[in-house]
Amino acid sequence: MRRQTIQEKIKIIQFMWVIFILIFSGVSLVLLSTDLQAVEIMKLTEIKTGMKGEGKSIFKGTQIESFPFTVLGVIEKFVPDKDLIIVELESPVFDNIGIISGMSGSPAYINGKLIGAIAYGFKYSQKPIGGITPIEDILKTSEYNIPSFTIDISTIKVEFDKKNLLSIADVVKRELAKRINFNPNQALTPIRLIGTHRGFTPSALSYWAPVFSWFSPLPTAGSTSTAGMPISTSTSADKNSGQLDIKSIAGNKDLLKVSPADAVSIPLIIGDFEFSSVGAVTHVDGEKVYVFGHPFFNLGTVDFPLHKSEVLSVVPSYAESFKLAATRNMVGRAVQDRFSAVQCELGKLPYMIPMNVYLKNRNQKFKIEMVNHPLLTPVLSAFSMLNIFSSQYQEFGFQSIKVEGKIFIEGEKNIVINDLYSGTDSFVDFSNLLLAINFFLLNNKEKNIKIQKLDFEISGSETVRIANIENAIIDKRSYLPGEVMNITVYLRNERGRAFTEKLTIKAPDLKPDTDFYLLVADNGEMGRFDSKNIRSSFFPIKLSFLIRAINNLRKNNRLYFKLMTPTRGLFVKGYEYPNLPSSLQDVFMYDRSPVYDVSSGIQSRIKFSTITEYQLEFPTVVKGKKLFKLKIKERSDG
């Protein structure tokens, strides 16, 4: 028998050592899993009035502290199919300050058994009396497996004038408000989460106050919050917390571990400025983590980051005491945002949407990442853009912004934005446009999309740049088919300086003695004319049609010249069909299928048919309109 070489013996030893490590790791994982799942739970039916228990939370740093409580009773059918345990907290920690905002999700135990999460409190109560969400309801959040959230937007016009943009922003605000105002009892309310922010201005926060209204409304030292939504400001210690992802800390398992009562946060925006909400961990079951004991935004299936947090201090207040907290490293993601809790997964990365903004005048770059959600992403993109404008431009008096940008969509054409905004509302106008575009994209009817990133390059000007049309003159009132039309437009800018623009277009190739019209107008006036002419509520179902409609948006810094005839036509599924013979019109009108039925709004008769449309770019925003009625004349024999 051949004797083993030294190299062969070394290989055998190495192989056995690997097997030993694998076995030991497996045993360790089993022990860890057993340790995490060792907590017993107490069913609601076992809980009786007068029972004594122990709650756990963090009031300073990362040190978990215990406090006693007494069960006062159970509110049955707090909401349909859900009960709530009422307890009185008895620790000196709560003397004179009551329930503390930011402790939502703090676990509660009786005889070492977990009964649920401290998640509710009574308004204006002089005693620290709270409501506990039963652990049985909390654990049910992991049973949900519902497709991504979307809302029906088919009744919303795909129009981007100022009025409709404000309307769309209002729709989003009301939808979020409806979901977060879930509490059926106005006296017994969810313990507020602590909204922590870094790098946000008072104007940006106040504008979006209704959306984030149920985060802690109390200011902390150094807070810049106003208008009913002061929220605690993160300290410089967590300045780069958003840059730490799971991959960068994978080598340190302690950083990925959380325990019941730990402070955790769900950031909505991370990067050069941040916005998060802080609560507590209720229960850890392997990789599953349950937090808050009540909803975050009540959005169902989600994909949000989960970070650890550090409690800097408890701030007493006559109105509502709260924890001052700072966001730390990422540990996983939130996957379910339900009535009884938010369920998370440790060690899993969420998908975040990057947004990069370069301000040329300031030579300033901003890089952030936002959560990916059909309702929140539109709000956060507008929120972030408005914050950049108000922090970097407003103090310098900038009132005009030139925007060049792209929204990159996986597997689809990019959205291209190239426009000028001017006036006191210019920042809000563009922010609302960004909200509307993302809102339509993420809630389109055809399919779920993946926004890869948003890139913008913006130039600011410290003057209002608006020119008004004072007059427009054409060289005559009747033309031969195809004859050159000379048009002169007289304008006056914001400083009162008059200037003219000249251009030539060809008269339409129509039969002699045919009337036609020339409309010279800005984008808003053109949009209003189209609305009156088309009167259709058609919404693009196909994503490619929606993207095309967005990319074809008329611009603020353009003057448009539309040639049209008073010939009746049809508008069908987003397309204009001018000069249709009456026989073909009858065919369309006769078909009452869901695709072509006039009553469905998918098609409509139009009074004016567009022949062609031109545009002229200006260095300013253009306002005004002029309408001409013209005629095609016969050619003379000479």
The whole-number pLDDT of residue 388 equals 92
Q: Are 296 and 278 in contact (CB under 8 A)?
A: no
Average pLDDT over residues 276-293: 94
pLDDT in tens, 117-147: 999 988 777 789 999 999 999 999 888 766 5
Q: How confident is the model at residue 186, as a pLDDT?
A: 64
pLDDT digits (tens, 9 = 90+) for 411-464: 999 999 999 999 888 999 999 999 999 999 998 888 889 999 999 999 988 889
Residue among 535, 494, 528, 555 nearest 625 (CA):
528
pTM value is 0.82
Res 25 pLDDT > 60: no
372-423 pLDDT, tens digit per residue, is 999 999 999 999 999 999 888 876 667 899 999 999 999 999 999 999 999 8
Alpha-carbon distances, residue 258 vs 64, 72, 349, 585 (angstroms): 12, 30, 16, 67
Please tell me the distance from the alpha carbon of residue 298 to that of residue 216, in angstroms, as a whole number. Answer: 17
Looking at per-residue pLDDT, the higher value among 429 and 4 belongs to 429
What's the pLDDT at 142? Answer: 82
Dig out the tokens for 293 from the structure. Answer: 């004991």
Where are the alpha helices (H) located in 517-581, listed in sequence order? 523-534, 543-551
Q: Measure CA 523 to chain center.
A: 27
Find out whether 305 and 380 touch, Cβ atoms under 8 Å.
no
Per the document, the length of the chain is 638
Structure tokens at 600: 């469905």
Provide the pLDDT for residue 75. 92
For 297-328, what is each residue's pLDDT tens digit?
A: 888 899 999 999 888 877 777 667 777 787 88
What is the percent of the chain where pLDDT is above 90?
48
* pLDDT computed for residue 248 by the predictor: 57
Mean predicted confidence (pLDDT) in 93-97: 81
DSSP secondary structure string for all residues of 308-328: EEEEEEEE--SS--EEEEEEE
pLDDT for residue 23 is more than 50: no
Q: What is the pLDDT of residues 472-521, one digit of tens each?
A: 999 999 999 999 999 999 999 988 999 999 999 999 999 999 999 999 99
Q: Is the dihedral of CA 169, 171, 172, 177 positive or negative?
A: positive
Contact 123, 99 (CB under 8 A): no
Tell me what pLDDT residue 465 has: 93
By the 10 Å C-beta count (0-12 exposed, 13-18 middle, 19+ buried), 216 is classed as buried
Higher per-residue pLDDT: 539 or 540: 540
Higher pLDDT, residue 504 or 183: 504
Is the separation of the CB atoms in 348 and 362 below 8 Å?
A: no
Measured between alpha carbons, how far is residue 191 from residues 60, 118, 134, 286, 294 in Å?
Answer: 18, 8, 15, 27, 9
Supply the pLDDT for residue 219.
Answer: 35
Query: What pLDDT is attached to residue 453?
Result: 97
Please report, for the chain, how many H helices and E strands are present, in that order.
10, 31
Q: How far is CA 167 from CA 387, 427, 457, 550, in A?
A: 21, 17, 27, 17
Q: Which helix (H) or strand (E) holds 52?
A: strand 52-60
Average pLDDT, the chain: 81
- Is 246 a residue whose pLDDT tops 80? no
| 275 touches 343 (CB < 8 A) | no
Helices (H), 494-579: 523-534, 543-551
pLDDT digits (tens, 9 = 90+) for 616-630: 999 999 999 999 999
pLDDT value of residue 307: 93
Spatial distance between the Cα atoms of 121 and 68, rounded to a whole number of angstroms: 16
Distance between CA 344 and CA 97 in Å, rounded? 31
| pLDDT tens figures, 222-244 | 333 322 233 333 333 333 333 34
Please check whether residue 32 is in contact with residue 47, taking contact to mean a CB–CB distance below 8 angstroms: no
Give the separation between CA 37 and CA 273, rounded to whole angstroms. Answer: 37
pLDDT tens-digit readout, 594-610: 443 333 445 566 678 88
What residues are paired with 87 via a beta bridge? 71, 130
pLDDT category, 162, cuts 50, 70, 90?
Answer: confident
Range from 30-34, 78-82, 129-133 that averages highest in pLDDT: 129-133
